[in-house]
Amino acid sequence: MTVYFNKMLNKALRRNKERIGDVNAQIEDSLAGIRTVKSFANESFEIEKFNRENIRFLESRKNTYKAEALFYNSFESIIQLITITVIIFGSVNIVNTDLDLADLITFLLYINFMIEPIQRLNHMSTQLQEGITGFQRFMEIMNMKPAIENKPDAVILPEIRGEIEFRQVSFRYEDHLDKVIQNLSLRIEPGEYVALVGPSGAGKTTLCSLIPRLYDVTDGEVLIDGIDVRNIDLQSLRQK
Ligand SMILES: Nc1ncnc2c1ncn2[C@@H]1O[C@H](COP(=O)(O)OP(=O)(O)OP(=O)(O)O)[C@@H](O)[C@H]1O
Ligand SMILES: [Mg+2]
């Protein structure tokens, strides 16, 4: 039972940690852009976004308390049942003169000795799981591999002329999101200036961030001086 409930607590507490992470990310995002938010009088929108994350956190917290309540109460009930069972069977045996009263009392004392450490261990389990899940989450983040990595045979560019070419480029941030860029081809000669014009959210920043390979294209290729940016050493690409 302890193992089962510990697993349940572990799951609930892990979700807590993920949700509070979301809340923190949301707050950081809002605070970093607070000037923009205020300039566009978007406070209520930000508050709404915060509330949404906060409610998700609250829900996950509720689930933890539910798991805890179920755990402690089931355990306490079983402990009480042990004592009651011993008293009932003991009394029956005393009536049948199979058992002395002194033996029954000794037995009850033994049961208390046995139960006490288990009880103490159980009371520690929330703290224990709190620690374990924190560590698990920490390891998860430390082991996270960056999505964009250097190829083993990546070339280092000694000099960049500055010819940028987008060839049939399509891009989406996540698989479940819509494409921000679709089938875009564009060639910029060295020294040439190009202005990207479009409403907010059109994808201007996105397009630019494909050049230093902050993101990888979904389809097509981005070339610098005729070399696919995915084949260029990241450090050398960004430095240049
Ligand atoms: N990190 C991201 N994850 C998911 N979607 C994103 C991300 N960054 C931008 N988007 C979405 O991609 C689209 C293009 O955004 P982008 O920031 O490139 O627009 P923009 O043209 O630079 O806008 P602005 O003029 O406001 O700077 C928008 O719909 C935006 O919501
Ligand atoms: Mg932008």
Domains of the chain: 2-142 (1.20.1560.10), 164-239 (3.40.50.300)
Place of tokens 């389809």: 219
13: Cβ below 6 Å to ligand 1? no
Name the residues around ion ligand 2, CB cutoff 5 A.
Answer: 205
Looking at residue 61, what is its pLDDT?
95
Looking at residue 147, what is its pLDDT?
84
Looking at residue 92, what is its pLDDT?
93
Looking at residue 192, what is its pLDDT?
94
How would you write the pLDDT of the chain (240 residues) with one tens digit per residue? Answer: 888 888 999 999 999 999 999 999 999 999 999 999 999 999 999 999 999 999 999 999 999 999 889 988 998 898 889 989 999 999 999 999 888 889 999 989 998 888 888 888 888 888 899 999 999 999 999 999 888 888 889 899 888 898 999 999 999 998 989 999 999 999 999 999 999 999 988 999 999 999 999 999 999 999 999 999 999 999 999 998
Locate 193 and state its tokens.
């200036």
Looking at residue 120, what is its pLDDT?
86
Q: Whose CA is nearest to atom 9 of ligand 1?
A: 206
Q: What is the rounded distance in angstroms from the CA atom of residue 213 to the CA atom of residue 203? A: 15
Place of tokens 């306490």: 76
Q: Which atom of ligand 1 is nearest to the CA of 209?
A: 18
**Quick check: 85 and 12 in contact, CB under 8 A?**
no
Looking at residue 28, what is its pLDDT?
94
**Quick check: 168 and 183 in contact, CB under 8 A?**
yes
Q: What is the rounded distance in angstroms from the CA atom of residue 240 to the CA atom of residue 127? A: 51
Angle (nearest 5°) at CA 231 between 230 and 234: 70
Looking at residue 109, what is its pLDDT?
92
Q: What is the rounded distance in angstroms from the CA atom of residue 19 to the CA atom of residue 10? A: 14
Long-range contacts of 177-184 (CB under 8 A, 24+ apart): 179/218, 180/206, 181/206, 181/207, 181/210, 183/220, 184/220
